[in-house]
């Protein structure tokens, strides 16, 4: 998804550059250029957000978090990830209802230069929120296992030896 978002960034840059040249050099811009460029920003955001969380590249206020022990950091990360997952699932549900309504009623962006259907623009929101909810769930599970004293390396090692998961000392 992040690669698609990256391709959309490049496509959006090319569209804006073309539209600037067409407007100021040839006095003939694309009527739909600014409109589509604005909608593409929504796609870029929602396609990249789960990848950003997966790689922990988002902006974090970690002043308080850094004062906690590693065990408490994992516990707090698991709790906030579960809260984020719940919120994203709710937002996915609400945004899906709006996108579905736009599809069923045939709603368009009618105040724009070129009327475009709303559904293709809005449908990325529930998809993005759902993917983000899944990533929050993975993050919560990883933090929970670290909080409980298990690590991926220990799990892999003990499974390779035919044993069970063994706790890692705190």
* Domain residue spans of the chain: 2-160
Q: What is the pLDDT tens value at each position of the chain, 170 positions in all? A: 778 877 888 888 888 888 888 888 888 887 777 778 888 888 898 988 988 888 887 777 788 888 888 888 888 888 999 999 999 999 999 999 999 999 999 888 776 667 788 899 999 999 999 999 999 999 998 887 766 665 555 444 443 444 444 444 44
Place of tokens 């006095």: 27
Place of tokens 């705190």: 170
Q: What is the DSSP letter of 61?
A: -
Question: Model pTM greater than 0.95?
Answer: no
* Dist. CA 147–CA 170, nearest whole Å: 9
């Amino acid at each position: 998804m992040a690669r698609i978002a990256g391709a959309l960034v490049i496509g959006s840059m090319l569209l804006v550059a073309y539209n600037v040249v067409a407007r100021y050099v040839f006095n003939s811009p694309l009527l739909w250029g600014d409109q589509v460029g604005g909608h593409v920003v929504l796609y870029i955001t929602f396609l990249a957000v789960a990848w950003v969380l997966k790689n922990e590249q988002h902006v974090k206020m970690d002043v308080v978090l850094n004062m906690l022990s590693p065990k408490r950091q994992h516990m707090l990360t698991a709790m906030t990830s579960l809260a984020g997952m719940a919120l994203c699932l709710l937002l996915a549900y609400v945004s899906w209802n709006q996108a579905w309504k736009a599809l069923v009623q045939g709603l368009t962006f009618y105040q724009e230069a070129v009327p475009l259907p709303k559904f293709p623009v809005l449908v990325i929101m529930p998809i993005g929120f759902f993917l983000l909810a899944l990533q929050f769930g993975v993050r919560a599970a990883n933090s929970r296992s670290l909080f409980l004293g298990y690590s991926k390396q220990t799990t892999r090692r003990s499974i390779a030896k035919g044993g069970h998961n063994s706790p890692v000392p705190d």
